[in-house]
Amino acid sequence: MPSALITGITGQDGLYLSELLLAKGYDVHGLIRGQNNPKLDLVHELLPDVQLHTGDLTDMSSLIRALRVSQPDEVYNLGAISFVAYSWENAALTTDVTGKGVLTMLEAVRLHAGDDPASVRFYQASSSEMFGKVQETPQRESTLLWPRSPYGVAKVFGHYMTINYRESYGMHASSGILFNHESPRRGPEFVTRKISQAVARIKLGLQDDVTLGNLDSRRDWGFAGDYVEAMWRMLQQDTADDFVIATGETHSIREFLDIAFRHVGIDDWASYVKQDPRFMRPAEVDLLIGDATKANEVLGWKPTVTFPQLVAMMVDADLEAQRAGW
């Protein structure tokens, strides 16, 4: 039975990836941080077969201990401070966790793997936020990186460290440059879930309006369930490499709002949406659209959920949750 260790198991992607690996017969281990993590019960409930180990990406010895206990064939490094807006307010902490944490994990894996550095396969959760200021559209693996936030800069560090450990030590270390991916499990701080939750509550008369920031930025949004499949496929390759994972479509926040409101029968939604500068960012990433040709050709990967299907899935899930009083 293959074994995998996942950091960031309490997050959106960690939950989907765990389900995928369990279904494939893996022995799944997860790193969980904090002395009383509020998401512990959720993980136990959704994933009773996952074994959890206490640890933090800033604490090398905790990572080595988790590696020793789990003896993984594959390590998926999904743990990060992942909210871009928060990264300006906590830039040093974001750098420590999202940036230097990757080096700490790579080094722990290298030390653990000993004489055979490629014996433990490593996945790094890189991000389209690394592209930042538009240099080329669509963005592909070779596009110049120009991050626009402390989060983006930290991800660039982790991305190049992953490549460096592959080239320096022959590690089987791959980096997935994933564009935005969403689901009903998306954290409510991110714009898609903030909108789907608000639309459900407005429809049910529980909320009057929703306050957002920039409605004109454009993102390449896919479904998280599709994207964790790409992570797994990367680690099944003989050779480690870097891959853009994206749908190849871009949509504005306004388009997301339009589909979400219309889905619950509200066509004239402008009066329900307010804007506040406090949700604007010091530097914005205006346009993201990815070219996943390499992933399609090498991994045989392609997305299965369309943009309207994704929006409808999220709004429906929030309607159900709000009706049930979750």
Provide the binding-site residues for ligand NDP, judged by CB under 6 A.
7-14, 31, 33-34, 37, 39, 56-58, 78-82, 97, 125, 127, 178, 180-181, 187
Q: Which of 262, 284, 321, 322 binds ligand GDR (CB under 6 A)?
A: 284
Q: Which of 203, 219, 233, 263 binds ligand GDR (CB under 6 A)?
A: 219
Q: Which lies closer to ligand GDR via its Cβ, residue 17 or residue 120?
A: 17
- Could you give the string, one character per residue 174-193, with x where binding to ligand GDR holds by CB under 6 A and - elsewhere? -----xx--------xxxx-
Considering only 134-142, 201-209, 210-218, 239-247, which stretch makes contact with ligand GDR by CB under 6 A? 210-218
Please name the residue that has the structure tokens 């409605």: 215
The answer to whether 71 and 53 have CB atoms below 8 angstroms apart is no
What secondary structure does DSSP assign to 224-262, as a single string? HHHHHHHHHHHHTSSS--EEEE--S--EEHHHHHHHHHH
Min. distance of Cβ 176 from ligand NDP in angstroms?
A: 8
- Does residue 194 touch ligand GDR according to CB under 6 A? yes
Contacted entry of ligand GDR, ligand NDP, none for residue 160, CB cut-off 5 to 8 Å set by kind:
none
Q: Which of 62, 127, 197, 250 binds ligand GDR (CB under 6 A)?
A: 127
- Sort 308 into a burial class: Cβ within 10 Å, 0-12 / 13-18 / 19+: middle
List active site positions: 127, 129, 151
Q: Where are the alpha helices (DSSP H) in 99-149?
A: 101-113
- Does residue 146 touch ligand GDR according to CB under 6 A? no
Name the phi and psi angles at 210, rounded to 5: -135, 140
Q: Which lies closer to ligand NDP via its Cβ, residue 86 or residue 279?
A: 86
Distance from C-alpha of 45 to C-alpha of 142, rounded to nearest angstrom: 41
Residues 6+ apart with CB under 8 A from 113: 119, 120, 171
The answer to whether 8 and 79 have CB atoms below 8 angstroms apart is yes
Nearest one of 16, 99, 112, 10 to 53, comparing CA atoms = 10
Contacted entry of ligand NDP, ligand GDR, none for residue 202, CB cut-off 5 to 8 Å set by kind:
none
Min. distance of Cβ 216 from ligand GDR in angstroms?
A: 8
Q: Which of 129, 229, 241, 291 binds ligand GDR (CB under 6 A)?
A: 129
Min. distance of Cβ 166 from ligand NDP in angstroms?
A: 18
Distance from C-alpha of 122 to C-alpha of 115, rounded to nearest angstrom: 16
Distance from C-alpha of 53 to C-alpha of 124, rounded to nearest angstrom: 19
Q: Which lies closer to ligand NDP via its Cβ, residue 13 or residue 27?
A: 13
Distance from C-alpha of 217 to C-alpha of 285, rounded to nearest angstrom: 7
Binding residues for ligand GDR, per CB under 6 A? Answer: 82, 84-85, 127-129, 179-180, 189-192, 194, 212-214, 217, 219, 253, 279, 281, 284
